[in-house]
Structure 1
Protein backbone atom coordinates (compact mmCIF):
# COMPACT_ATOMS: atom_id res chain seq x y z
CA UNK A 1 0.00 0.00 0.00
CA UNK A 2 1.43 3.36 -1.02
CA UNK A 3 0.87 6.35 1.24
CA UNK A 4 0.29 9.58 -0.72
CA UNK A 5 2.99 12.16 -0.22
CA UNK A 6 2.57 15.87 0.27
CA UNK A 7 2.05 17.83 -2.93
CA UNK A 8 3.61 20.96 -1.42
CA UNK A 9 6.53 22.04 -3.58
CA UNK A 10 9.67 23.55 -2.00
CA UNK A 11 8.73 26.98 -3.38
CA UNK A 12 5.21 26.68 -1.95
CA UNK A 13 6.64 25.59 1.38
CA UNK A 14 8.93 28.64 1.45
CA UNK A 15 5.99 30.90 0.62
CA UNK A 16 3.91 29.34 3.38
CA UNK A 17 6.70 29.91 5.90
CA UNK A 18 6.93 33.56 4.92
CA UNK A 19 3.16 34.03 5.20
CA UNK A 20 3.07 32.26 8.57
CA UNK A 21 5.85 34.52 9.87
CA UNK A 22 4.04 37.60 8.53
CA UNK A 23 0.77 36.46 10.11
CA UNK A 24 2.48 35.83 13.43
CA UNK A 25 4.06 39.30 13.35
CA UNK A 26 0.71 40.93 12.59
CA UNK A 27 -0.99 39.25 15.54
CA UNK A 28 1.97 39.74 17.86
CA UNK A 29 2.47 43.43 17.09
CA UNK A 30 -1.17 44.50 16.63
CA UNK A 31 -1.64 45.70 20.25
CA UNK A 32 1.53 47.77 19.97
CA UNK A 33 0.07 49.83 17.12
CA UNK A 34 -3.16 50.64 18.90
CA UNK A 35 -5.43 47.71 18.01
CA UNK A 36 -7.72 46.77 20.90
CA UNK A 37 -6.23 43.58 22.45
CA UNK A 38 -9.60 41.98 23.29
CA UNK A 39 -10.68 42.40 19.67
CA UNK A 40 -7.52 40.67 18.43
CA UNK A 41 -7.94 37.88 20.95
CA UNK A 42 -11.47 37.33 19.69
CA UNK A 43 -10.17 37.22 16.11
CA UNK A 44 -7.54 34.63 17.04
CA UNK A 45 -10.05 32.43 18.88
CA UNK A 46 -12.44 32.42 15.94
CA UNK A 47 -9.60 32.03 13.45
CA UNK A 48 -8.56 28.83 15.22
CA UNK A 49 -12.19 27.70 15.24
CA UNK A 50 -12.50 28.37 11.50
CA UNK A 51 -9.20 26.62 10.75
CA UNK A 52 -10.30 23.54 12.66
CA UNK A 53 -13.61 23.52 10.78
CA UNK A 54 -11.72 23.91 7.50
CA UNK A 55 -9.69 20.82 8.37
CA UNK A 56 -12.94 18.87 8.31
CA UNK A 57 -14.69 20.58 5.39
CA UNK A 58 -11.91 21.90 3.18
CA UNK A 59 -9.57 18.93 3.45
CA UNK A 60 -11.93 16.15 4.52
CA UNK A 61 -14.97 17.08 2.47
CA UNK A 62 -17.30 16.72 5.47
CA UNK A 63 -19.83 19.52 5.97
CA UNK A 64 -20.89 19.82 9.61
CA UNK A 65 -23.89 21.99 10.51
CA UNK A 66 -23.24 21.49 14.22
CA UNK A 67 -19.66 22.51 14.92
CA UNK A 68 -20.83 25.09 17.46
CA UNK A 69 -21.43 22.25 19.91
CA UNK A 70 -17.67 21.78 20.27
CA UNK A 71 -16.90 25.47 20.67
CA UNK A 72 -19.74 26.04 23.14
CA UNK A 73 -19.44 22.86 25.19
CA UNK A 74 -15.70 23.42 25.58
CA UNK A 75 -16.42 26.96 26.75
CA UNK A 76 -18.74 25.62 29.45
CA UNK A 77 -16.20 22.96 30.42
CA UNK A 78 -13.36 25.47 30.77
CA UNK A 79 -15.53 27.99 32.62
CA UNK A 80 -16.87 25.39 35.07
CA UNK A 81 -13.45 23.88 35.66
CA UNK A 82 -11.86 27.27 36.31
CA UNK A 83 -14.63 28.77 38.44
CA UNK A 84 -16.02 25.81 40.38
CA UNK A 85 -13.13 23.34 40.49
CA UNK A 86 -10.35 25.92 40.66
CA UNK A 87 -8.40 24.61 37.68
CA UNK A 88 -5.45 26.69 36.52
CA UNK A 89 -5.92 28.25 33.03
CA UNK A 90 -3.79 25.72 31.18
CA UNK A 91 -5.60 22.81 32.82
CA UNK A 92 -9.00 24.39 32.12
CA UNK A 93 -8.14 24.73 28.40
CA UNK A 94 -6.77 21.17 28.26
CA UNK A 95 -9.87 19.87 30.02
CA UNK A 96 -12.10 21.75 27.56
CA UNK A 97 -10.12 20.35 24.63
CA UNK A 98 -10.45 16.81 25.98
CA UNK A 99 -14.21 17.24 26.52
CA UNK A 100 -14.65 18.49 22.95
CA UNK A 101 -12.57 15.60 21.62
CA UNK A 102 -14.72 13.10 23.54
CA UNK A 103 -17.90 14.70 22.28
CA UNK A 104 -16.41 14.71 18.78
CA UNK A 105 -15.69 10.99 19.00
CA UNK A 106 -19.28 10.21 20.02
CA UNK A 107 -20.78 12.55 17.41
CA UNK A 108 -18.38 11.29 14.75
CA UNK A 109 -19.18 7.63 15.40
CA UNK A 110 -22.83 8.43 14.77
CA UNK A 111 -22.47 10.90 11.91
CA UNK A 112 -19.87 9.35 9.62
CA UNK A 113 -22.16 6.41 8.97
CA UNK A 114 -23.87 8.74 6.49
CA UNK A 115 -22.62 11.08 3.78
CA UNK A 116 -23.54 14.41 2.25
CA UNK A 117 -26.64 16.17 3.51
CA UNK A 118 -27.48 13.27 5.84
CA UNK A 119 -24.13 13.70 7.61
CA UNK A 120 -24.74 17.45 7.90
CA UNK A 121 -28.24 17.00 9.31
CA UNK A 122 -27.09 14.46 11.89
CA UNK A 123 -24.47 16.90 13.16
CA UNK A 124 -27.13 19.63 13.31
CA UNK A 125 -29.46 17.37 15.30
CA UNK A 126 -26.69 16.47 17.73
CA UNK A 127 -25.77 20.14 18.12
CA UNK A 128 -29.37 21.00 18.96
CA UNK A 129 -29.35 18.30 21.61
CA UNK A 130 -26.22 19.84 23.12
CA UNK A 131 -27.84 23.30 22.97
CA UNK A 132 -30.94 22.22 24.89
CA UNK A 133 -28.79 20.29 27.37
CA UNK A 134 -26.76 23.48 27.93
CA UNK A 135 -29.99 25.40 28.43
CA UNK A 136 -31.43 22.98 30.98
CA UNK A 137 -28.39 21.64 32.86
CA UNK A 138 -28.05 23.19 36.34
CA UNK A 139 -24.29 23.78 36.16
CA UNK A 140 -24.41 25.83 32.94
CA UNK A 141 -26.39 28.73 34.37
CA UNK A 142 -29.19 28.45 31.82
CA UNK A 143 -29.76 31.62 29.82
CA UNK A 144 -27.32 33.54 32.05
CA UNK A 145 -24.44 31.19 31.33
CA UNK A 146 -21.37 30.95 33.55
CA UNK A 147 -20.23 34.46 34.36
CA UNK A 148 -17.25 36.00 36.17
CA UNK A 149 -14.94 33.15 35.14
CA UNK A 150 -11.54 33.74 36.77
CA UNK A 151 -8.59 33.87 34.40
CA UNK A 152 -6.29 32.69 37.17
CA UNK A 153 -2.54 32.29 37.02
CA UNK A 154 -0.85 30.41 34.21
CA UNK A 155 1.19 27.55 35.71
CA UNK A 156 0.48 29.23 39.05
CA UNK A 157 2.89 32.04 38.17
CA UNK A 158 1.65 34.39 35.44
CA UNK A 159 -1.35 36.54 36.35
CA UNK A 160 -3.71 36.45 33.35
CA UNK A 161 -5.72 39.37 34.64
CA UNK A 162 -2.98 41.43 33.00
CA UNK A 163 -4.05 42.03 29.37
CA UNK A 164 -0.59 41.46 27.90
CA UNK A 165 -0.27 38.10 29.67
CA UNK A 166 -3.70 36.96 28.47
CA UNK A 167 -2.87 38.13 24.96
CA UNK A 168 0.38 36.15 24.97
CA UNK A 169 -1.50 33.00 26.01
CA UNK A 170 -4.14 33.39 23.28
CA UNK A 171 -1.43 34.09 20.69
CA UNK A 172 0.47 30.97 21.76
CA UNK A 173 -2.67 28.80 21.65
CA UNK A 174 -3.65 30.14 18.22
CA UNK A 175 -0.22 29.73 16.65
CA UNK A 176 0.20 26.27 18.19
CA UNK A 177 -3.19 25.15 16.88
CA UNK A 178 -2.60 26.68 13.47
CA UNK A 179 0.82 25.04 13.07
CA UNK A 180 -0.63 21.70 14.18
CA UNK A 181 -3.35 21.96 11.52
CA UNK A 182 -0.72 22.93 8.94
CA UNK A 183 1.33 19.86 9.87
CA UNK A 184 -1.71 17.58 9.75
CA UNK A 185 -2.70 18.82 6.29
CA UNK A 186 0.79 18.24 4.90
CA UNK A 187 1.30 14.87 6.59
CA UNK A 188 0.57 11.48 4.98
CA UNK A 189 -2.64 11.42 7.04
CA UNK A 190 -3.71 14.73 5.51
CA UNK A 191 -2.93 13.53 2.01
CA UNK A 192 -5.01 10.37 2.51
CA UNK A 193 -7.82 12.53 3.89
CA UNK A 194 -7.74 14.70 0.76
CA UNK A 195 -7.68 11.59 -1.42
CA UNK A 196 -10.84 10.38 0.33
CA UNK A 197 -12.43 13.79 -0.25
CA UNK A 198 -11.63 13.68 -3.97
CA UNK A 199 -12.58 10.05 -4.65
CA UNK A 200 -13.62 7.93 -1.69
CA UNK A 201 -14.31 4.68 -3.62
CA UNK A 202 -10.86 4.83 -5.20
CA UNK A 203 -9.21 5.49 -1.81
CA UNK A 204 -11.06 2.49 -0.37
CA UNK A 205 -9.94 0.36 -3.32
CA UNK A 206 -6.33 1.28 -2.45
CA UNK A 207 -6.85 -0.21 0.99
CA UNK A 208 -7.60 2.82 3.15
CA UNK A 209 -10.31 2.64 5.80
CA UNK A 210 -12.21 5.81 4.86
CA UNK A 211 -14.45 5.82 7.93
CA UNK A 212 -11.46 5.56 10.25
CA UNK A 213 -9.69 8.50 8.60
CA UNK A 214 -12.86 10.60 8.61
CA UNK A 215 -13.49 9.84 12.29
CA UNK A 216 -9.94 10.86 13.19
CA UNK A 217 -10.33 14.09 11.24
CA UNK A 218 -13.67 14.75 12.96
CA UNK A 219 -12.17 14.23 16.42
CA UNK A 220 -9.14 16.41 15.61
CA UNK A 221 -11.40 19.15 14.31
CA UNK A 222 -13.61 18.92 17.39
CA UNK A 223 -10.62 19.01 19.76
CA UNK A 224 -9.13 22.10 18.12
CA UNK A 225 -12.55 23.77 18.10
CA UNK A 226 -12.75 22.98 21.81
CA UNK A 227 -9.34 24.54 22.37
CA UNK A 228 -10.64 27.72 20.74
CA UNK A 229 -13.83 27.61 22.82
CA UNK A 230 -12.02 27.06 26.11
CA UNK A 231 -9.60 29.89 25.40
CA UNK A 232 -12.45 32.21 24.41
CA UNK A 233 -14.28 31.49 27.68
CA UNK A 234 -11.22 32.63 29.64
CA UNK A 235 -10.73 35.72 27.46
CA UNK A 236 -14.28 36.99 27.98
CA UNK A 237 -14.68 35.33 31.39
CA UNK A 238 -18.01 34.00 30.17
CA UNK A 239 -19.54 30.84 28.76
CA UNK A 240 -22.97 31.39 27.21
CA UNK A 241 -25.56 29.84 24.94
CA UNK A 242 -24.40 32.06 22.07
CA UNK A 243 -21.41 29.84 21.36
CA UNK A 244 -23.46 26.64 21.28
CA UNK A 245 -26.35 28.05 19.22
CA UNK A 246 -26.88 26.77 15.67
CA UNK A 247 -26.18 30.25 14.27
CA UNK A 248 -22.56 29.91 15.42
CA UNK A 249 -22.22 26.86 13.19
CA UNK A 250 -23.45 29.02 10.31
CA UNK A 251 -20.93 31.71 11.17
CA UNK A 252 -17.96 29.38 11.02
CA UNK A 253 -19.16 28.06 7.65
CA UNK A 254 -19.37 31.66 6.42
CA UNK A 255 -15.86 32.42 7.72
CA UNK A 256 -14.43 29.39 5.95
CA UNK A 257 -16.18 29.99 2.64
CA UNK A 258 -15.45 33.72 2.68
CA UNK A 259 -11.75 33.23 3.31
CA UNK A 260 -11.35 30.22 1.06
CA UNK A 261 -12.37 26.63 1.73
CA UNK A 262 -9.50 24.19 1.38
CA UNK A 263 -6.82 26.86 1.75
CA UNK A 264 -4.41 27.14 4.66
CA UNK A 265 -4.81 30.83 5.40
CA UNK A 266 -8.35 31.43 4.14
CA UNK A 267 -10.19 30.71 7.42
CA UNK A 268 -7.95 33.17 9.26
CA UNK A 269 -8.80 35.92 6.77
CA UNK A 270 -12.48 34.98 6.78
CA UNK A 271 -12.65 35.06 10.59
CA UNK A 272 -10.89 38.43 10.68
CA UNK A 273 -13.33 39.92 8.14
CA UNK A 274 -16.45 38.62 9.90
CA UNK A 275 -15.33 39.63 13.41
CA UNK A 276 -14.27 43.06 12.13
CA UNK A 277 -17.71 43.61 10.59
CA UNK A 278 -19.45 42.48 13.78
CA UNK A 279 -17.41 44.85 15.91
CA UNK A 280 -17.22 47.94 13.75
CA UNK A 281 -20.73 47.73 12.33
CA UNK A 282 -22.36 46.97 15.67
CA UNK A 283 -24.23 50.28 15.63
CA UNK A 284 -26.24 48.96 12.68
CA UNK A 285 -27.90 46.45 14.99
CA UNK A 286 -29.60 43.58 13.20
CA UNK A 287 -28.62 45.14 9.86
CA UNK A 288 -25.16 43.67 10.40
CA UNK A 289 -26.60 40.32 9.31
CA UNK A 290 -27.95 41.93 6.14
CA UNK A 291 -24.53 43.41 5.39
CA UNK A 292 -22.87 40.05 6.03
CA UNK A 293 -25.37 38.37 3.73
CA UNK A 294 -24.71 40.93 1.00
CA UNK A 295 -20.95 40.50 1.26
CA UNK A 296 -21.36 36.74 1.19
CA UNK A 297 -23.46 36.94 -2.00
CA UNK A 298 -20.88 39.20 -3.64
CA UNK A 299 -18.06 36.83 -2.68
CA UNK A 300 -19.96 33.81 -3.99
CA UNK A 301 -20.52 35.59 -7.30
CA UNK A 302 -17.10 37.21 -7.70
CA UNK A 303 -14.75 35.18 -5.49
CA UNK A 304 -15.99 31.64 -5.79
CA UNK A 305 -12.83 30.24 -4.24
CA UNK A 306 -12.91 32.76 -1.40
CA UNK A 307 -10.62 35.72 -0.83
CA UNK A 308 -7.44 33.72 -0.30
CA UNK A 309 -8.45 31.11 -2.88
CA UNK A 310 -8.81 33.76 -5.58
CA UNK A 311 -5.58 35.45 -4.50
CA UNK A 312 -3.77 32.13 -4.73
CA UNK A 313 -5.23 31.48 -8.19
CA UNK A 314 -4.16 34.95 -9.32
CA UNK A 315 -0.62 34.42 -7.99
CA UNK A 316 -0.66 30.81 -9.20
CA UNK A 317 0.44 29.75 -5.72
CA UNK A 318 -1.10 27.43 -3.16
CA UNK A 319 -2.18 29.42 -0.11
Structure 2
Protein backbone atom coordinates (compact mmCIF):
# COMPACT_ATOMS: atom_id res chain seq x y z
CA UNK A 1 0.00 0.00 0.00
CA UNK A 2 1.42 3.38 -0.98
CA UNK A 3 1.76 6.32 1.36
CA UNK A 4 -1.06 8.16 -0.38
CA UNK A 5 -3.53 5.33 0.08
CA UNK A 6 -3.08 5.15 3.87
CA UNK A 7 -4.95 8.41 4.64
CA UNK A 8 -7.60 7.41 2.09
CA UNK A 9 -8.10 4.06 3.83
CA UNK A 10 -8.31 5.74 7.21
CA UNK A 11 -10.80 8.25 5.83
CA UNK A 12 -12.92 5.43 4.40
CA UNK A 13 -12.90 3.61 7.75
CA UNK A 14 -13.83 6.85 9.51
CA UNK A 15 -16.73 7.43 7.12
CA UNK A 16 -17.93 3.86 7.63
CA UNK A 17 -17.70 4.25 11.40
CA UNK A 18 -19.62 7.52 11.26
CA UNK A 19 -22.24 5.91 9.03
CA UNK A 20 -22.65 2.96 11.38
CA UNK A 21 -22.93 5.36 14.30
CA UNK A 22 -25.73 7.29 12.59
CA UNK A 23 -27.52 4.04 11.77
CA UNK A 24 -27.15 2.93 15.39
CA UNK A 25 -28.54 6.24 16.66
CA UNK A 26 -31.50 6.02 14.28
CA UNK A 27 -32.26 2.46 15.39
CA UNK A 28 -31.97 3.47 19.07
CA UNK A 29 -34.43 6.35 18.53
CA UNK A 30 -36.91 4.07 16.77
CA UNK A 31 -36.62 1.51 19.57
CA UNK A 32 -37.13 4.26 22.15
CA UNK A 33 -40.25 5.51 20.36
CA UNK A 34 -41.75 2.01 20.16
CA UNK A 35 -40.64 0.79 23.61
CA UNK A 36 -43.57 2.10 25.72
CA UNK A 37 -45.98 0.07 23.59
CA UNK A 38 -44.16 -3.10 24.67
CA UNK A 39 -42.68 -2.34 28.12
CA UNK A 40 -44.28 -0.61 31.11
CA UNK A 41 -43.71 3.15 30.49
CA UNK A 42 -43.06 4.01 34.16
CA UNK A 43 -40.21 1.49 34.30
CA UNK A 44 -38.73 2.93 31.12
CA UNK A 45 -38.93 6.47 32.50
CA UNK A 46 -37.16 5.42 35.68
CA UNK A 47 -34.43 3.72 33.66
CA UNK A 48 -34.01 6.76 31.40
CA UNK A 49 -33.71 9.11 34.38
CA UNK A 50 -30.99 6.95 35.92
CA UNK A 51 -29.33 6.55 32.52
CA UNK A 52 -29.07 10.33 32.23
CA UNK A 53 -27.81 10.50 35.83
CA UNK A 54 -25.14 7.87 35.10
CA UNK A 55 -24.15 9.58 31.85
CA UNK A 56 -23.56 12.83 33.72
CA UNK A 57 -21.52 11.00 36.34
CA UNK A 58 -19.51 9.29 33.57
CA UNK A 59 -18.58 12.70 32.16
CA UNK A 60 -16.63 13.28 35.37
CA UNK A 61 -15.27 9.78 35.99
CA UNK A 62 -14.73 8.54 32.46
CA UNK A 63 -13.33 11.68 30.84
CA UNK A 64 -11.64 13.52 33.72
CA UNK A 65 -10.78 10.59 35.96
CA UNK A 66 -12.46 12.05 39.07
CA UNK A 67 -14.41 9.57 41.21
CA UNK A 68 -17.22 11.31 43.08
CA UNK A 69 -19.04 9.47 45.86
CA UNK A 70 -21.52 12.30 46.34
CA UNK A 71 -23.42 12.72 43.08
CA UNK A 72 -26.71 11.87 44.77
CA UNK A 73 -26.55 15.33 46.37
CA UNK A 74 -27.17 17.04 43.02
CA UNK A 75 -29.63 14.40 41.82
CA UNK A 76 -31.75 14.37 44.97
CA UNK A 77 -31.65 18.03 45.98
CA UNK A 78 -32.61 19.08 42.45
CA UNK A 79 -35.65 16.80 42.80
CA UNK A 80 -36.63 18.65 45.99
CA UNK A 81 -36.25 22.04 44.34
CA UNK A 82 -38.26 20.97 41.28
CA UNK A 83 -40.99 19.45 43.46
CA UNK A 84 -41.23 22.53 45.68
CA UNK A 85 -41.29 24.95 42.75
CA UNK A 86 -44.02 23.03 40.92
CA UNK A 87 -46.19 22.09 43.91
CA UNK A 88 -45.87 25.07 46.28
CA UNK A 89 -45.06 27.92 43.93
CA UNK A 90 -47.36 26.58 41.21
CA UNK A 91 -44.88 27.11 38.38
CA UNK A 92 -44.86 25.06 35.17
CA UNK A 93 -42.89 21.80 34.94
CA UNK A 94 -40.30 23.17 32.52
CA UNK A 95 -39.48 25.95 35.02
CA UNK A 96 -39.20 23.35 37.78
CA UNK A 97 -36.81 21.23 35.70
CA UNK A 98 -34.77 24.30 34.78
CA UNK A 99 -34.45 25.49 38.38
CA UNK A 100 -33.62 21.95 39.52
CA UNK A 101 -30.89 21.70 36.90
CA UNK A 102 -29.46 25.09 37.92
CA UNK A 103 -29.56 23.97 41.57
CA UNK A 104 -27.54 20.87 40.72
CA UNK A 105 -25.03 22.95 38.78
CA UNK A 106 -24.83 25.53 41.58
CA UNK A 107 -24.15 22.87 44.20
CA UNK A 108 -21.53 21.43 41.87
CA UNK A 109 -19.87 24.84 41.60
CA UNK A 110 -19.67 25.20 45.39
CA UNK A 111 -18.70 21.62 46.25
CA UNK A 112 -16.51 21.14 43.19
CA UNK A 113 -14.63 24.36 43.88
CA UNK A 114 -13.50 22.87 47.17
CA UNK A 115 -13.20 19.21 46.19
CA UNK A 116 -10.93 19.62 43.16
CA UNK A 117 -8.19 20.87 45.46
CA UNK A 118 -7.68 17.21 46.39
CA UNK A 119 -6.95 14.15 44.27
CA UNK A 120 -7.65 10.42 44.34
CA UNK A 121 -9.34 8.96 47.39
CA UNK A 122 -9.20 12.33 49.17
CA UNK A 123 -11.30 13.88 46.40
CA UNK A 124 -13.83 11.02 46.69
CA UNK A 125 -14.06 11.38 50.48
CA UNK A 126 -14.55 15.15 50.26
CA UNK A 127 -17.44 14.71 47.81
CA UNK A 128 -18.98 12.06 50.09
CA UNK A 129 -18.68 14.36 53.11
CA UNK A 130 -20.42 17.23 51.31
CA UNK A 131 -23.11 14.85 50.05
CA UNK A 132 -23.85 13.81 53.63
CA UNK A 133 -24.18 17.47 54.56
CA UNK A 134 -26.71 17.92 51.76
CA UNK A 135 -28.54 14.80 52.98
CA UNK A 136 -28.94 16.23 56.49
CA UNK A 137 -29.97 19.57 55.02
CA UNK A 138 -32.70 17.77 53.08
CA UNK A 139 -33.71 15.97 56.28
CA UNK A 140 -33.97 19.14 58.38
CA UNK A 141 -35.01 21.86 55.93
CA UNK A 142 -38.69 22.86 56.34
CA UNK A 143 -39.55 22.84 52.63
CA UNK A 144 -38.39 19.25 52.01
CA UNK A 145 -40.96 17.56 54.24
CA UNK A 146 -38.35 15.70 56.27
CA UNK A 147 -38.73 11.93 56.17
CA UNK A 148 -42.05 12.23 54.32
CA UNK A 149 -40.52 14.15 51.44
CA UNK A 150 -42.54 16.20 48.96
CA UNK A 151 -45.49 14.13 47.81
CA UNK A 152 -48.18 14.72 45.23
CA UNK A 153 -46.03 16.80 42.90
CA UNK A 154 -48.27 17.77 39.96
CA UNK A 155 -46.93 17.05 36.49
CA UNK A 156 -48.85 20.00 35.10
CA UNK A 157 -48.81 21.33 31.54
CA UNK A 158 -45.55 21.52 29.63
CA UNK A 159 -45.19 25.02 28.15
CA UNK A 160 -48.89 25.44 28.99
CA UNK A 161 -49.80 23.23 26.01
CA UNK A 162 -48.96 19.58 26.67
CA UNK A 163 -50.58 17.74 29.56
CA UNK A 164 -48.15 15.40 31.33
CA UNK A 165 -50.78 13.48 33.30
CA UNK A 166 -50.80 10.61 30.81
CA UNK A 167 -47.86 8.20 31.24
CA UNK A 168 -47.31 7.83 27.49
CA UNK A 169 -47.02 11.58 26.99
CA UNK A 170 -44.74 11.85 30.00
CA UNK A 171 -42.56 9.06 28.62
CA UNK A 172 -41.94 10.83 25.32
CA UNK A 173 -41.02 14.03 27.18
CA UNK A 174 -38.57 12.08 29.36
CA UNK A 175 -37.18 10.35 26.27
CA UNK A 176 -36.66 13.71 24.56
CA UNK A 177 -34.88 15.09 27.66
CA UNK A 178 -32.67 12.00 27.75
CA UNK A 179 -31.75 12.35 24.07
CA UNK A 180 -30.95 16.05 24.46
CA UNK A 181 -28.77 15.30 27.49
CA UNK A 182 -26.96 12.47 25.72
CA UNK A 183 -26.34 14.57 22.60
CA UNK A 184 -25.02 17.38 24.79
CA UNK A 185 -22.60 14.99 26.51
CA UNK A 186 -21.51 13.59 23.12
CA UNK A 187 -20.84 17.11 21.85
CA UNK A 188 -18.86 18.04 24.98
CA UNK A 189 -16.55 15.02 24.90
CA UNK A 190 -15.87 15.42 21.17
CA UNK A 191 -15.10 19.13 21.45
CA UNK A 192 -11.64 20.66 22.07
CA UNK A 193 -12.75 21.06 25.70
CA UNK A 194 -13.46 17.34 25.88
CA UNK A 195 -10.08 16.49 24.36
CA UNK A 196 -8.44 18.64 27.01
CA UNK A 197 -10.34 16.75 29.71
CA UNK A 198 -9.00 13.46 28.31
CA UNK A 199 -5.48 14.89 28.32
CA UNK A 200 -5.87 15.83 31.98
CA UNK A 201 -7.14 12.33 32.75
CA UNK A 202 -4.19 10.68 31.01
CA UNK A 203 -1.42 12.92 32.32
CA UNK A 204 -2.34 15.89 34.47
CA UNK A 205 1.24 17.09 34.96
CA UNK A 206 1.84 17.20 31.22
CA UNK A 207 -1.37 19.21 30.74
CA UNK A 208 -0.14 21.68 33.36
CA UNK A 209 3.23 21.93 31.62
CA UNK A 210 1.42 22.77 28.36
CA UNK A 211 -0.15 25.79 30.06
CA UNK A 212 -3.68 24.53 30.75
CA UNK A 213 -5.45 25.74 33.87
CA UNK A 214 -6.26 22.21 35.01
CA UNK A 215 -8.36 23.18 38.02
CA UNK A 216 -10.59 25.40 35.91
CA UNK A 217 -11.23 22.57 33.43
CA UNK A 218 -11.94 20.15 36.28
CA UNK A 219 -14.36 22.58 37.90
CA UNK A 220 -16.24 23.21 34.66
CA UNK A 221 -16.54 19.45 34.07
CA UNK A 222 -17.76 19.03 37.66
CA UNK A 223 -20.42 21.72 37.17
CA UNK A 224 -21.60 20.19 33.88
CA UNK A 225 -21.74 16.74 35.47
CA UNK A 226 -23.70 17.93 38.50
CA UNK A 227 -26.04 19.96 36.29
CA UNK A 228 -26.89 16.86 34.23
CA UNK A 229 -27.46 14.95 37.48
CA UNK A 230 -29.80 17.76 38.56
CA UNK A 231 -31.66 17.51 35.26
CA UNK A 232 -32.15 13.77 35.81
CA UNK A 233 -33.31 14.26 39.40
CA UNK A 234 -35.79 16.99 38.46
CA UNK A 235 -37.25 14.84 35.71
CA UNK A 236 -37.58 11.85 38.03
CA UNK A 237 -39.44 13.98 40.60
CA UNK A 238 -42.05 14.82 37.98
CA UNK A 239 -42.32 11.24 36.73
CA UNK A 240 -42.99 9.73 40.17
CA UNK A 241 -44.53 12.92 41.61
CA UNK A 242 -42.43 12.60 44.76
CA UNK A 243 -39.04 13.71 46.08
CA UNK A 244 -37.67 11.76 49.05
CA UNK A 245 -34.49 11.17 51.01
CA UNK A 246 -33.83 8.04 48.95
CA UNK A 247 -32.66 10.13 46.01
CA UNK A 248 -30.20 12.16 48.10
CA UNK A 249 -28.89 9.21 50.14
CA UNK A 250 -25.36 7.88 49.59
CA UNK A 251 -26.89 4.61 48.32
CA UNK A 252 -27.93 6.50 45.19
CA UNK A 253 -24.33 7.63 44.71
CA UNK A 254 -23.20 4.01 44.99
CA UNK A 255 -25.79 2.87 42.47
CA UNK A 256 -24.70 5.37 39.84
CA UNK A 257 -21.08 4.22 40.26
CA UNK A 258 -22.26 0.63 39.78
CA UNK A 259 -24.25 1.51 36.66
CA UNK A 260 -21.30 3.29 35.08
CA UNK A 261 -18.82 0.52 35.83
CA UNK A 262 -21.16 -2.20 34.53
CA UNK A 263 -21.89 -0.38 31.28
CA UNK A 264 -18.39 0.90 30.62
CA UNK A 265 -16.50 3.89 31.98
CA UNK A 266 -15.50 6.40 29.31
CA UNK A 267 -18.09 5.27 26.75
CA UNK A 268 -21.08 7.31 25.66
CA UNK A 269 -23.67 4.51 25.80
CA UNK A 270 -22.10 2.44 28.60
CA UNK A 271 -23.87 4.22 31.50
CA UNK A 272 -27.21 3.83 29.70
CA UNK A 273 -26.71 0.08 29.34
CA UNK A 274 -25.63 -0.15 32.99
CA UNK A 275 -28.62 1.89 34.16
CA UNK A 276 -31.10 -0.31 32.29
CA UNK A 277 -29.38 -3.44 33.62
CA UNK A 278 -29.42 -2.35 37.28
CA UNK A 279 -32.93 -0.88 37.09
CA UNK A 280 -34.18 -4.02 35.35
CA UNK A 281 -32.69 -6.25 38.05
CA UNK A 282 -34.29 -4.16 40.79
CA UNK A 283 -37.65 -4.15 39.02
CA UNK A 284 -37.98 -7.74 37.82
CA UNK A 285 -36.31 -9.37 40.81
CA UNK A 286 -38.14 -7.27 43.42
CA UNK A 287 -40.28 -10.23 44.45
CA UNK A 288 -37.24 -12.06 45.87
CA UNK A 289 -36.83 -9.34 48.52
CA UNK A 290 -33.38 -8.76 49.97
CA UNK A 291 -31.94 -11.37 47.60
CA UNK A 292 -32.02 -8.77 44.84
CA UNK A 293 -28.92 -7.13 46.33
CA UNK A 294 -27.10 -10.49 46.28
CA UNK A 295 -28.11 -11.04 42.64
CA UNK A 296 -27.01 -7.51 41.80
CA UNK A 297 -23.69 -8.05 43.58
CA UNK A 298 -23.12 -11.37 41.80
CA UNK A 299 -23.69 -9.78 38.40
CA UNK A 300 -21.38 -6.93 39.33
CA UNK A 301 -18.59 -9.34 40.35
CA UNK A 302 -19.06 -11.37 37.15
CA UNK A 303 -18.88 -8.23 34.99
CA UNK A 304 -15.77 -6.98 36.79
CA UNK A 305 -14.03 -10.34 36.29
CA UNK A 306 -15.21 -11.02 32.72
CA UNK A 307 -15.74 -7.52 31.34
CA UNK A 308 -13.01 -5.34 32.79
CA UNK A 309 -13.96 -2.43 30.52
CA UNK A 310 -17.68 -2.86 31.13
CA UNK A 311 -20.21 -4.32 28.71
CA UNK A 312 -20.03 -1.59 26.07
CA UNK A 313 -16.30 -1.09 26.62
CA UNK A 314 -15.58 -4.76 25.94
CA UNK A 315 -17.77 -4.70 22.84
CA UNK A 316 -15.94 -1.66 21.45
CA UNK A 317 -12.57 -3.28 22.21
CA UNK A 318 -13.69 -6.47 20.42
CA UNK A 319 -14.76 -4.49 17.33
CA UNK A 320 -11.46 -2.60 17.37
CA UNK A 321 -9.51 -5.89 17.43
CA UNK A 322 -11.56 -7.15 14.47
CA UNK A 323 -10.82 -4.01 12.47
CA UNK A 324 -7.13 -4.28 13.31
CA UNK A 325 -6.98 -7.90 12.09
CA UNK A 326 -8.74 -7.01 8.84
CA UNK A 327 -6.40 -4.10 8.14
TM-score of the two chains, using structure 2 as the length reference:
0.93
Matches within 5 A, 1:57-206: 57-206=61-210
Distance across 2 between alignment mates of 1:17 and 1:55? 22
1:17 aligns with 2:40: no
Gaps of 5+ in 1: 1-7
**Which segment drifts farther, 112-121 or 20-29?**
20-29
- Alignment correspondent of 1:251: 255
Contact in 2 for aligned 1:153/1:159 (Cα 8 Å): yes
Q: For 2:229, which of 215, 225, 248 is the aligned residue?
A: 225
- Alignment correspondent of 2:57: 53
Distance across 1 between alignment mates of 2:278 and 2:144? 28
1:300 aligns with 2:304: yes
- Alignment correspondent of 1:27: 32
Contact in 2 for aligned 1:12/1:317 (Cα 8 Å): no
Determine helix, strand or coil for the equivalent of 1:263.
coil
CA offset at residue 9 of structure 1? 4.1
- Alignment correspondent of 1:283: 287
**Which segment drifts farther, 232-241 or 135-144?**
135-144
CA offset at residue 284 of structure 1? 1.2
Distance across 2 between alignment mates of 1:210 and 1:203? 7
Deviations 1:136-177 (A, max 9, x none): 111101111000000000011111101222112101100000
TM-aligned CA distance change 1:119 to 1:278, over 3 Å: same
Gaps of 5+ in 2: 1-12, 323-327
- Alignment correspondent of 2:320: 316
Determine helix, strand or coil for the equivalent of 2:63.
coil
- Alignment correspondent of 2:46: 42
CA offset at residue 22 of structure 1? 2.1
CA offset at residue 15 of structure 1? 2.9
Q: Which runs of 4+ in 1 moved over 6 A?
A: none
CA offset at residue 66 of structure 1? 0.3
